[in-house]
Amino acid sequence: MHGQCGLFFRTYAGEAQLFPGRFLKISMLLFFAALCLAPWAMNKYLVSILCLINISVIGAVSLNLLTGSCGQISLGHGAFFGVGAYSAAYLANLGLPFLLVLPGAGAITALTGMVFGLPSLRLKGIYLAIATLAAQLILEYVFLHWDAVTGGSGGMALDPPSIFGFAFDSDLKMFYLTLAVAALCVLCVRNVMRTCLGRAFVAIRDYHLSAEIVGVDLFAYKLRAFGLSSFLAGVGGALWGSYTMYITPEQFGIGLSVSYLAMIIIGGLGSVIGGVFGAVFITILPELLNFIAQHAGAAFTDLSGALLAMKEGVFGLVLVLFLIFEPEGLANRWRLVKSYWKLYPFAH
Protein backbone atom coordinates (compact mmCIF):
# COMPACT_ATOMS: atom_id res chain seq x y z
CA MET A 1 0.00 0.00 0.00
CA HIS A 2 1.29 3.42 -0.94
CA GLY A 3 0.18 6.48 1.06
CA GLN A 4 -1.07 9.64 -0.58
CA CYS A 5 1.44 12.43 -1.09
CA GLY A 6 -0.06 15.93 -0.96
CA LEU A 7 -3.49 17.36 -0.21
CA PHE A 8 -6.49 15.92 -2.03
CA PHE A 9 -10.02 17.30 -1.57
CA ARG A 10 -13.33 15.70 -2.46
CA THR A 11 -15.56 18.67 -1.56
CA TYR A 12 -15.38 22.45 -1.89
CA ALA A 13 -15.90 22.74 1.85
CA GLY A 14 -12.83 20.62 2.46
CA GLU A 15 -10.75 22.76 0.13
CA ALA A 16 -11.97 25.98 1.82
CA GLN A 17 -10.83 24.93 5.30
CA LEU A 18 -8.72 27.42 7.22
CA PHE A 19 -6.16 24.75 8.07
CA PRO A 20 -6.31 21.96 5.48
CA GLY A 21 -4.31 18.93 6.44
CA ARG A 22 -3.24 17.41 9.74
CA PHE A 23 0.29 18.79 9.52
CA LEU A 24 -0.93 22.39 9.33
CA LYS A 25 -3.36 21.91 12.22
CA ILE A 26 -0.64 20.42 14.43
CA SER A 27 1.81 23.16 13.40
CA MET A 28 -0.64 25.91 14.36
CA LEU A 29 -1.35 24.28 17.72
CA LEU A 30 2.35 24.02 18.48
CA PHE A 31 2.90 27.63 17.37
CA PHE A 32 0.18 28.98 19.67
CA ALA A 33 1.40 26.80 22.54
CA ALA A 34 4.91 28.22 22.11
CA LEU A 35 3.48 31.75 21.83
CA CYS A 36 1.54 31.35 25.07
CA LEU A 37 4.58 30.01 26.93
CA ALA A 38 7.08 32.52 25.50
CA PRO A 39 6.28 35.44 27.91
CA TRP A 40 7.27 33.32 30.90
CA ALA A 41 10.84 33.23 29.57
CA MET A 42 10.98 36.98 28.82
CA ASN A 43 11.48 40.11 30.86
CA LYS A 44 8.83 42.78 31.29
CA TYR A 45 10.17 44.92 28.45
CA LEU A 46 9.95 42.12 25.87
CA VAL A 47 6.45 41.18 27.04
CA SER A 48 5.38 44.80 26.52
CA ILE A 49 6.67 44.62 22.94
CA LEU A 50 4.58 41.47 22.41
CA CYS A 51 1.51 43.35 23.66
CA LEU A 52 2.18 46.15 21.18
CA ILE A 53 2.61 43.60 18.39
CA ASN A 54 -0.78 42.06 19.19
CA ILE A 55 -2.47 45.47 19.07
CA SER A 56 -0.63 46.38 15.85
CA VAL A 57 -1.81 43.12 14.26
CA ILE A 58 -5.42 44.20 14.83
CA GLY A 59 -4.77 47.59 13.24
CA ALA A 60 -2.85 46.19 10.27
CA VAL A 61 -5.33 43.41 9.51
CA SER A 62 -8.27 45.81 9.72
CA LEU A 63 -6.62 48.32 7.36
CA ASN A 64 -5.62 45.52 4.98
CA LEU A 65 -9.28 44.52 4.76
CA LEU A 66 -10.18 48.04 3.61
CA THR A 67 -7.16 48.96 1.49
CA GLY A 68 -5.64 45.65 0.45
CA SER A 69 -8.83 43.64 -0.13
CA CYS A 70 -11.36 46.34 -1.10
CA GLY A 71 -8.96 48.83 -2.67
CA GLN A 72 -10.08 51.85 -0.60
CA ILE A 73 -6.99 53.82 0.39
CA SER A 74 -7.20 55.22 3.92
CA LEU A 75 -4.89 57.70 5.61
CA GLY A 76 -7.13 58.08 8.65
CA HIS A 77 -6.71 54.70 10.31
CA GLY A 78 -4.74 56.16 13.22
CA ALA A 79 -7.62 58.53 13.97
CA PHE A 80 -10.11 55.64 13.95
CA PHE A 81 -7.83 53.93 16.46
CA GLY A 82 -8.16 57.08 18.54
CA VAL A 83 -11.96 57.01 18.29
CA GLY A 84 -11.89 53.48 19.70
CA ALA A 85 -9.56 54.46 22.55
CA TYR A 86 -11.58 57.54 23.56
CA SER A 87 -14.87 55.65 23.20
CA ALA A 88 -13.56 52.90 25.48
CA ALA A 89 -12.43 55.48 28.05
CA TYR A 90 -15.79 57.27 27.96
CA LEU A 91 -17.82 54.05 28.22
CA ALA A 92 -15.61 52.74 31.02
CA ASN A 93 -16.10 55.99 32.95
CA LEU A 94 -19.85 55.42 32.66
CA GLY A 95 -19.37 52.20 34.60
CA LEU A 96 -19.88 49.68 31.79
CA PRO A 97 -18.04 46.35 32.10
CA PHE A 98 -15.09 45.71 29.78
CA LEU A 99 -16.96 43.01 27.84
CA LEU A 100 -19.42 45.73 26.78
CA VAL A 101 -16.83 48.49 26.46
CA LEU A 102 -14.81 46.60 23.83
CA PRO A 103 -17.63 45.98 21.30
CA GLY A 104 -19.19 49.34 22.20
CA ALA A 105 -16.00 51.17 21.24
CA GLY A 106 -15.88 49.14 18.04
CA ALA A 107 -19.49 50.04 17.19
CA ILE A 108 -18.92 53.77 17.75
CA THR A 109 -15.81 53.65 15.59
CA ALA A 110 -17.67 51.70 12.89
CA LEU A 111 -20.34 54.41 12.70
CA THR A 112 -17.64 57.08 12.52
CA GLY A 113 -15.81 55.21 9.78
CA MET A 114 -18.98 54.75 7.75
CA VAL A 115 -19.72 58.48 7.96
CA PHE A 116 -16.28 59.33 6.63
CA GLY A 117 -16.61 56.51 4.09
CA LEU A 118 -19.60 58.16 2.39
CA PRO A 119 -17.37 59.99 -0.15
CA SER A 120 -16.02 56.62 -1.35
CA LEU A 121 -18.90 56.30 -3.84
CA ARG A 122 -17.68 59.33 -5.78
CA LEU A 123 -13.98 59.40 -4.91
CA LYS A 124 -11.31 56.87 -5.85
CA GLY A 125 -7.55 56.56 -5.63
CA ILE A 126 -5.61 59.61 -4.49
CA TYR A 127 -8.82 61.65 -4.08
CA LEU A 128 -10.20 59.15 -1.58
CA ALA A 129 -6.83 59.15 0.21
CA ILE A 130 -7.08 62.94 0.57
CA ALA A 131 -10.65 62.59 1.90
CA THR A 132 -9.51 60.11 4.55
CA LEU A 133 -6.59 62.42 5.38
CA ALA A 134 -9.19 65.12 6.00
CA ALA A 135 -10.97 62.69 8.34
CA GLN A 136 -7.68 62.23 10.18
CA LEU A 137 -7.27 65.97 10.66
CA ILE A 138 -10.91 66.50 11.67
CA LEU A 139 -10.78 63.75 14.28
CA GLU A 140 -7.48 65.06 15.64
CA TYR A 141 -9.17 68.44 16.12
CA VAL A 142 -12.09 66.75 17.90
CA PHE A 143 -9.74 64.84 20.21
CA LEU A 144 -7.98 68.04 21.15
CA HIS A 145 -10.95 70.39 21.61
CA TRP A 146 -13.94 68.29 22.76
CA ASP A 147 -12.91 68.59 26.41
CA ALA A 148 -16.17 67.23 27.84
CA VAL A 149 -15.63 63.83 26.20
CA THR A 150 -11.93 63.51 25.38
CA GLY A 151 -10.38 65.59 28.15
CA GLY A 152 -8.72 67.85 25.58
CA SER A 153 -4.96 68.24 25.67
CA GLY A 154 -4.89 66.75 29.17
CA GLY A 155 -6.03 63.35 27.88
CA MET A 156 -7.97 60.67 29.75
CA ALA A 157 -6.99 58.01 32.24
CA LEU A 158 -8.31 54.45 32.19
CA ASP A 159 -8.33 51.72 34.79
CA PRO A 160 -6.92 48.28 33.92
CA PRO A 161 -9.58 46.15 32.19
CA SER A 162 -11.41 43.63 34.33
CA ILE A 163 -13.47 40.60 33.25
CA PHE A 164 -15.62 38.85 35.88
CA GLY A 165 -13.52 40.37 38.64
CA PHE A 166 -10.18 39.34 37.11
CA ALA A 167 -8.07 42.46 36.54
CA PHE A 168 -5.56 42.57 33.69
CA ASP A 169 -3.19 44.81 35.63
CA SER A 170 0.18 43.55 34.39
CA ASP A 171 1.98 43.20 31.07
CA LEU A 172 1.78 39.41 31.27
CA LYS A 173 -1.98 39.42 31.77
CA MET A 174 -2.48 42.03 29.07
CA PHE A 175 -0.46 39.90 26.68
CA TYR A 176 -2.95 37.05 26.90
CA LEU A 177 -5.90 39.44 26.56
CA THR A 178 -4.46 41.19 23.51
CA LEU A 179 -3.40 37.86 21.99
CA ALA A 180 -6.91 36.44 22.34
CA VAL A 181 -8.55 39.52 20.79
CA ALA A 182 -5.95 39.70 17.99
CA ALA A 183 -6.49 36.02 17.16
CA LEU A 184 -10.27 36.55 17.02
CA CYS A 185 -9.86 39.58 14.75
CA VAL A 186 -7.52 37.73 12.38
CA LEU A 187 -9.91 34.76 12.31
CA CYS A 188 -12.83 37.11 11.63
CA VAL A 189 -11.10 38.79 8.67
CA ARG A 190 -9.92 35.45 7.30
CA ASN A 191 -13.47 34.12 7.39
CA VAL A 192 -14.91 37.30 5.84
CA MET A 193 -12.58 36.84 2.87
CA ARG A 194 -14.05 33.37 2.27
CA THR A 195 -17.63 34.67 2.04
CA CYS A 196 -19.53 36.47 -0.70
CA LEU A 197 -18.81 39.72 1.17
CA GLY A 198 -15.06 39.18 0.85
CA ARG A 199 -15.35 38.20 -2.81
CA ALA A 200 -17.34 41.39 -3.45
CA PHE A 201 -14.54 43.40 -1.81
CA VAL A 202 -11.97 41.79 -4.10
CA ALA A 203 -14.16 42.40 -7.15
CA ILE A 204 -14.40 46.11 -6.29
CA ARG A 205 -10.65 46.28 -5.80
CA ASP A 206 -9.85 44.59 -9.11
CA TYR A 207 -12.22 46.69 -11.26
CA HIS A 208 -15.23 48.51 -9.90
CA LEU A 209 -17.11 48.67 -13.23
CA SER A 210 -16.94 44.91 -13.70
CA ALA A 211 -18.09 44.40 -10.12
CA GLU A 212 -21.06 46.71 -10.68
CA ILE A 213 -21.99 44.95 -13.92
CA VAL A 214 -22.23 41.57 -12.17
CA GLY A 215 -24.52 43.02 -9.51
CA VAL A 216 -22.25 44.26 -6.71
CA ASP A 217 -23.73 47.34 -5.02
CA LEU A 218 -20.60 49.49 -4.87
CA PHE A 219 -21.86 51.99 -2.32
CA ALA A 220 -23.26 49.38 0.08
CA TYR A 221 -20.17 47.16 -0.03
CA LYS A 222 -17.73 50.05 0.29
CA LEU A 223 -19.61 51.25 3.36
CA ARG A 224 -19.48 47.73 4.77
CA ALA A 225 -15.73 47.66 4.20
CA PHE A 226 -15.31 50.98 6.01
CA GLY A 227 -17.62 49.86 8.81
CA LEU A 228 -15.98 46.47 9.39
CA SER A 229 -12.45 47.89 9.14
CA SER A 230 -13.32 50.74 11.52
CA PHE A 231 -14.98 48.33 13.97
CA LEU A 232 -11.80 46.29 14.24
CA ALA A 233 -9.73 49.48 14.49
CA GLY A 234 -11.99 50.62 17.35
CA VAL A 235 -11.43 47.33 19.16
CA GLY A 236 -7.67 47.75 18.70
CA GLY A 237 -7.86 51.33 19.94
CA ALA A 238 -9.82 50.23 23.01
CA LEU A 239 -7.10 47.67 23.79
CA TRP A 240 -4.42 50.32 23.24
CA GLY A 241 -6.09 52.68 25.70
CA SER A 242 -6.64 49.89 28.22
CA TYR A 243 -3.00 48.84 27.95
CA THR A 244 -1.41 52.29 28.22
CA MET A 245 -4.08 53.42 30.76
CA TYR A 246 -3.66 57.02 29.57
CA ILE A 247 -4.52 58.46 26.17
CA THR A 248 -3.73 61.85 24.65
CA PRO A 249 -4.49 63.32 21.18
CA GLU A 250 -0.89 63.20 19.94
CA GLN A 251 -0.86 59.40 20.19
CA PHE A 252 -3.23 59.14 17.22
CA GLY A 253 -1.64 61.49 14.71
CA ILE A 254 -0.90 61.04 11.03
CA GLY A 255 2.29 59.19 11.92
CA LEU A 256 0.27 56.29 13.31
CA SER A 257 -1.80 56.12 10.11
CA VAL A 258 1.36 56.05 7.99
CA SER A 259 2.79 53.30 10.19
CA TYR A 260 -0.25 51.09 9.62
CA LEU A 261 -0.10 51.78 5.90
CA ALA A 262 3.56 50.77 5.93
CA MET A 263 2.65 47.55 7.75
CA ILE A 264 0.28 46.37 5.04
CA ILE A 265 2.64 47.40 2.22
CA ILE A 266 5.59 45.57 3.75
CA GLY A 267 3.46 42.60 4.80
CA GLY A 268 1.56 42.30 1.53
CA LEU A 269 -1.60 44.04 0.34
CA GLY A 270 -4.71 41.86 0.31
CA SER A 271 -3.19 39.13 2.47
CA VAL A 272 -4.33 38.46 6.03
CA ILE A 273 -1.04 36.83 6.99
CA GLY A 274 0.72 39.77 5.32
CA GLY A 275 -0.91 42.16 7.79
CA VAL A 276 0.43 40.02 10.64
CA PHE A 277 3.94 39.93 9.18
CA GLY A 278 3.92 43.68 8.57
CA ALA A 279 2.75 44.45 12.11
CA VAL A 280 5.51 42.30 13.61
CA PHE A 281 8.16 43.81 11.34
CA ILE A 282 7.25 47.49 11.86
CA THR A 283 6.84 47.06 15.62
CA ILE A 284 10.19 45.33 16.05
CA LEU A 285 12.16 47.57 13.65
CA PRO A 286 12.39 50.66 15.95
CA GLU A 287 13.31 48.46 18.91
CA LEU A 288 16.01 46.79 16.82
CA LEU A 289 17.41 50.17 15.78
CA ASN A 290 17.46 51.28 19.44
CA PHE A 291 19.27 48.08 20.38
CA ILE A 292 21.90 48.62 17.66
CA ALA A 293 22.33 52.28 18.63
CA GLN A 294 22.81 51.47 22.31
CA HIS A 295 25.41 48.77 21.68
CA ALA A 296 27.14 50.78 18.98
CA GLY A 297 27.39 53.68 21.44
CA ALA A 298 29.50 51.56 23.76
CA ALA A 299 32.23 51.35 21.11
CA PHE A 300 31.55 54.44 19.02
CA THR A 301 30.08 57.35 20.96
CA ASP A 302 29.34 59.55 17.95
CA LEU A 303 27.72 56.72 15.99
CA SER A 304 25.04 56.10 18.65
CA GLY A 305 23.53 59.58 18.34
CA ALA A 306 23.66 59.41 14.54
CA LEU A 307 21.78 56.11 14.47
CA LEU A 308 19.05 57.44 16.74
CA ALA A 309 18.70 60.51 14.53
CA MET A 310 18.51 58.30 11.43
CA LYS A 311 15.70 56.13 12.81
CA GLU A 312 12.96 57.82 10.77
CA GLY A 313 15.16 57.78 7.69
CA VAL A 314 15.83 54.06 8.08
CA PHE A 315 12.09 53.47 8.42
CA GLY A 316 11.46 55.23 5.10
CA LEU A 317 14.40 53.48 3.44
CA VAL A 318 13.09 50.06 4.42
CA LEU A 319 9.67 50.92 2.98
CA VAL A 320 11.22 52.05 -0.33
CA LEU A 321 13.41 48.94 -0.55
CA PHE A 322 10.39 46.70 -0.03
CA LEU A 323 8.49 48.51 -2.77
CA ILE A 324 11.40 48.00 -5.16
CA PHE A 325 12.59 44.49 -4.36
CA GLU A 326 9.54 42.82 -2.78
CA PRO A 327 6.44 44.72 -3.99
CA GLU A 328 4.13 41.86 -2.98
CA GLY A 329 5.42 41.96 0.59
CA LEU A 330 6.54 39.39 3.12
CA ALA A 331 3.44 37.29 2.44
CA ASN A 332 4.74 36.55 -1.06
CA ARG A 333 8.14 35.58 0.34
CA TRP A 334 6.39 33.26 2.80
CA ARG A 335 4.50 31.61 -0.11
CA LEU A 336 7.76 31.09 -1.98
CA VAL A 337 9.38 29.50 1.08
CA LYS A 338 6.42 27.13 1.51
CA SER A 339 6.51 26.23 -2.19
CA TYR A 340 10.23 25.47 -1.95
CA TRP A 341 9.77 23.02 0.91
CA LYS A 342 6.84 21.37 -0.82
CA LEU A 343 9.17 20.41 -3.69
CA TYR A 344 12.31 19.82 -1.62
CA PRO A 345 14.74 18.17 -2.44
CA PHE A 346 13.68 18.45 -6.10
CA ALA A 347 14.43 21.60 -8.05
CA HIS A 348 11.22 21.51 -10.13
Predicted confidence at residue 324, as pLDDT, reads 85
Look at the chain and report how many structural domains it folds into. Answer: 1
In a domain, 270, yes or no: yes
**Residue 3, in any domain of the structure:** no
Range of the domain at 69: 43-343
Tell me if 38 is assigned to some domain. no
DSSP for 127-158, please give it: HHHHHHHHHHHHHHHHHHH-HHHH-GGG-EE-
CA 175 from centroid of its chain's CA atoms: 16
pTM more than 0.85: yes
pLDDT score of 189: 92
Which CATH number covers residue 328?
A: 1.10.3470
Residue 22 lies in a domain: no
Pair 204, 219: CB distance under 8 Å: no
What is the block-wise mean pLDDT of the chain (348 residues), using blocks of 10 residues? 59 72 81 89 90 93 91 90 92 90 93 87 82 91 88 84 86 92 93 89 88 87 92 93 89 89 89 90 85 69 65 76 84 83 66
In this structure, the chain runs to a length of 348
Q: Look at the alpha carbons of 320, 325, 331, 333 in this order and tell me if their dihedral is positive or negative.
A: negative
138: in domain: yes
Within a domain: 188? yes
pLDDT at position 58 = 94
CA nearest 87: which of 106, 100, 111? Answer: 106
Domain assignment present for 30: no
In a domain, 166, yes or no: yes
The whole-angstrom separation of Cα 268 and Cα 287 is: 22
